[in-house]
Structure 1
Amino acid sequence: MAARTKTATPGHSAVIRAVKLNNHKLGASAAHTWRTMPVPHADKDRTHLNEDWRPVSSPKALRTAIRERLELADNVTADSVLAIEYVVSGPHEAFAEQGGSVEWRSYFCDALAFLEARHGAENIAAVNVQLDELTPHLVVYAVPLVDYPATTRTRNVILGKQGDEWIRGPKAFDIPARTALSATHFMGCRDQLRELQSSFAEEVAIPHGLSRGLRHSAATHVTTKAYHQALARGLAENLSLSPDDLARQGLLWGKESPEKHAARVTDFVVEHYAPTVARAATAGIERRRADEMAETARRTEAALNEERTAHQQARERLRGLIGGLSGEEITKIKGFANKCRRLRREAEEARKLEEQQREEEAQAERERMENDRAAQLRRLTPEALARLEKGERVKAWRFAIARDDLGETLEAWLDSDLFEMDGILSSRGRALIEREAPRPTERHTTQEQTPATPGAGMPTRSPFER
């Protein structure tokens, strides 16, 4: 952005307005921007002067450009905000064409650079400069994509079983980098909109001789449609003469029919009194603006009073602490306060270090336990795995999948044909277990039965027990 040092003109406030556009609102906005719908306040003879600063010059092209950017996002839904429409302008009389100091091209170039820095130039789908209206303004469509870097999230999960107790503890999960569609990231609350106004004024408006709008303003945007509706309503209600009104005096103007006379008088009234009627018709809007300015003043005064009260309370507290003390005593108090802050800071650092050491010890213990389990599983033959209870078998299988160093063990289990996916027994595995199961007739052959000894490789307990 070019560096400028112009002084802001009093009363000439910059205009930057941001509107969220979903799929439905996007169509209406694009039709207005590229004049594919009637725009009464736009001069058709000047529409050719409008400029596109991106290779997008129609509503269809805008949707295509936005759709290409949305392919990067992983959270687009039917009701998502697809774009943010920014409108940048200023007071009519502030522009050079009307005797002001603002050069619209330079002003809009800096405004676009500001929005590119805010969203990324690649996410600016379309830029249109409109010069066919009374005041030049810039329209920018930004796709609100946000790049989130890869990170690690810690969750409290079940780590295993020790004896009859399940062991829980923190486990880190890697969250991959992602791109999301999020208008809320840019304009999710009032403070963000205020920051937009402030930063735009500081970086763009003030260097061009414009100022920031009022803080704590209660003013609301009056749409062009609402303004023209009020104007048309005032003209329709005040500028007409019916032939019936003139017919009663027809004897005075016998050479002119009532219809012709009504049309002539109406034209005369429109020519001479239309400005007065227009001002009267829009008086309601002006009254609303006056009320909003009064509310703005009230809010500003309330904010100032709140700050004044807080400042006074801080002064009183300070006076209660050091009132009547000598300079030497105040210096001692400051030294004691600094010592307390230092001790508190050191205690906080020690606490964080102790927590970090405990977490590292706990992590080392978890890794040791998992390595012990991995060593047990490496010695576990496919037949021994098949003899485990289903829950223990599935747990062992999933544990082996999660460990890179158990790849060969997992392959040996799979090559045995005793298992399907996730440790479920195959038909061959079930047949193995059925063959080894004791038969009912054998259990009562003698009164004293020798306990069966485990087969080769058969574990006497779960590999997840310590």
Structure 2
Amino acid sequence: MNFVILRTQKLKSKGAICRSTKHAFREQDTPNADPKLTPENIHIGAQSSDEAMAAVNARLPDKIRKNGVMAIEYLITASPEAMTAKSRKDQDNYFHDSLAWLKAKHGAENVVYAGIHRDEKTPHMYAYVVPIDPKGKLNARHFLGGAKALNAMQTDFAQQVGVKHDFQRGIEGSKATHQRVQSFYGQINQPQAPLTVDKERKVLKKGVFSTTVESDEEYQARIIREVNKQIQPSVEKARLSASETRKRHEMSKTLGNVHEDLKNAQNSIQALSKHFDGLDKNQVAEVIKLTESLKQQNQTRGAICSRSNKNKGYSR
């Protein structure tokens, strides 16, 4: 599959923005990132979280309503298989056009910082936007207001950017839910540490002349608890991976059905169009007009028969 991926997150406090930018600049521990690849990351508009915060503050109005959205964080990538199959140059071109789309949507001055992460499993671009509307007000709802607006945004991005790079829009109306890509890969990419279990029986009570240790039942119960606690992250990874596989299968199946319906419709249109071969536009219009007239006659005749049968006491 080669679907575009466009996600948004509303950041409602400077603290939330600061924490996010620190992650972006790797100024805090990032277990799912490969330190050897971190130098390959790209930063646009700022070179540190402090610079990014300064850019955000420069665009924010003096007065911000309570619970107002101060910034929108965008995350842009594509289906992992399709994204990693592209060359570095093709990936950069996709991200370049994605950033241009964001600037056209929000105004270049409001896209305060953007970057590309290449030290995680799937290359992706992220951007921080201060949502200033055309009236000059802080107004995230203008850009992300409701499911219809978000749906239209996904479609527009796919048409304006995705198609150019051989990506398509995700299935509209799909029941598959989505996690933030950054969060998803952050969970499934973390390595599982080896199990460490204290195999020695614990001393429960130590006296001068005797020592009481765990019974067989207590020992077994403790070992089981310790093992379960340590393997839980792996179990969660497996659950997320299985969930993602089911979602992909569902989307692929839905797309196949859509293609089949489209093919059937095209075949029907082609079969119908053969009846109009050799006719000009006026003649085609006459045929359609005659068809409508015959349909109206049939409907009238059916109504008359129905009333006649009813008068005779017939039932249908």
Please give the range of the TM-score, normalised by the shorter of the 2 chains.
0.5 to 0.7
User: Which residue of the partner structure matches residue 86 of structure 2?
Assistant: 100
When residues 17 and 82 of structure 1 are mapped into structure 2, their CA distance, relative to the original with a 3 A threshold, is same
Q: 1:180 aligns with which of 133, 137, 144?
A: 137
Q: CA deviation at 1:226?
A: 6.0
Q: What SS does the corresponding residue of 2:128 show, helix, strand or coil?
A: strand
Unaligned runs of 5+ in 1: 1-10, 149-178, 246-276, 302-325, 334-466
- Find the aligned partners of 1:223 and 1:136 in 2 and give their Cα distance: 10
Q: Which residue of 1 aligns with 2:27?
A: 36
Give the counterpart of 2:112 among 100, 117, 125.
125
Kindly provide the amino acid, as one letter, of the partner of residue 2 in structure 2. H
1:49 aligned residue: 40
RMSD, aligned α-carbons: 3.6
What CA distance in whole angstroms lies between the structure 1 residues aligned with 2:96 and 2:184?
A: 30
Residue 91 and residue 291 in structure 1: after superposition, are their counterparts in 2 closer, same or farther (change >3 A)? Answer: closer
How many Å separate the matches in 2 of 1:87 and 1:200? 13
Q: Is the aligned partner of 1:214 residue 2:171? A: yes
How much has 1:286 moved relative to structure 2? 3.2
**Equivalent in the alignment of 1:387:** none
Provide Cα deviations, 1:245-298, integer angstroms capped at 9, x if missing partner: 9xxxxxxxxxxxxxxxxxxxxxxxxxxxxxxx9976522113434565688799
TM-score (normalizing by structure 2): 0.62
In 1, Cα distance between the equivalents of 2:158 and 2:291? Answer: 47
Deviation of 1:79 (Å):
2.8
Distance 2:2 2:249 in 1: 19
Residue type of the alignment partner of 2:18: G
Structure 1 residue identity aligned to 2:50: K
SS at match of 1:64: helix
Q: Is 1:138 the equivalent of 2:125?
A: yes
Alignment of 1:223-262 (within 5 A): 224-225=182-183, 228-229=186-187, 235=192, 239-240=195-196, 243-244=199-200
Q: Does the alignment pair 1:22 with 2:12?
A: yes
Matched position secondary structure for 2:133:
strand
> Partner letter of residue 19 of structure 1?
Q
The 1:213–1:49 alpha-carbon spacing in structure 2 relative to 1, beyond 3 Å, is same
Q: Does 1:89 align with 2:105?
A: no
In the TM superposition, what is the alpha-carbon distance from 1:92 to its structure 2 partner? 3.3
Distance 1:136 1:144 in 2: 25
Q: Which of the numbers 108, 131, 151 marks the counterpart of 1:194? A: 151
* Structure 1 residue ranges (4+ consecutive) displaced by more than 2 angstroms after TM superposition: 91-95, 98-102, 222-232, 238-245, 277-283, 286-301, 326-331
Q: Deviations over 1:92-131 (max 9, x none)?
A: 3324xx4436711111110011111100111111111222
TM-score by length of 1: 0.43
1:147: Cα distance to partner?
Answer: 2.4
Deviation at 1:91, TM superposition (A): 2.9
Q: Please say which structure displays the higher CA radius of gyration.
A: 1
Tell me what 1:357 maps to.
none
**Partner SS state of residue 79, structure 1:** coil
Structure 2 residue runs of 5 or longer lacking an equivalent are 202-231, 258-288, 297-316
Q: 1:327 maps to which residue?
A: 290
C-alpha offsets along residues 46-79 of structure 1, whole Å, 9 cap, x if unaligned?
222222222x1222212211222124x7x52353
Per-residue deviation at 1:87? Answer: 1.0
From 237, 240, 245, the equivalent of 1:282 is 237
Identity %: 28
- Cα distance in structure 1, aligned partners of 2:70 and 2:42: 23
Indicate whether 1:61 and 2:51 are aligned.
Answer: yes
Deviation per CA, 1:186-208, whole angstroms, max 9, x where unpaired? 00101111111111111111111
**Distance 1:329-1:139 versus aligned 2 partners, 3 A rule:** closer
CA distance in 2, matches of 1:291, 1:16: 20
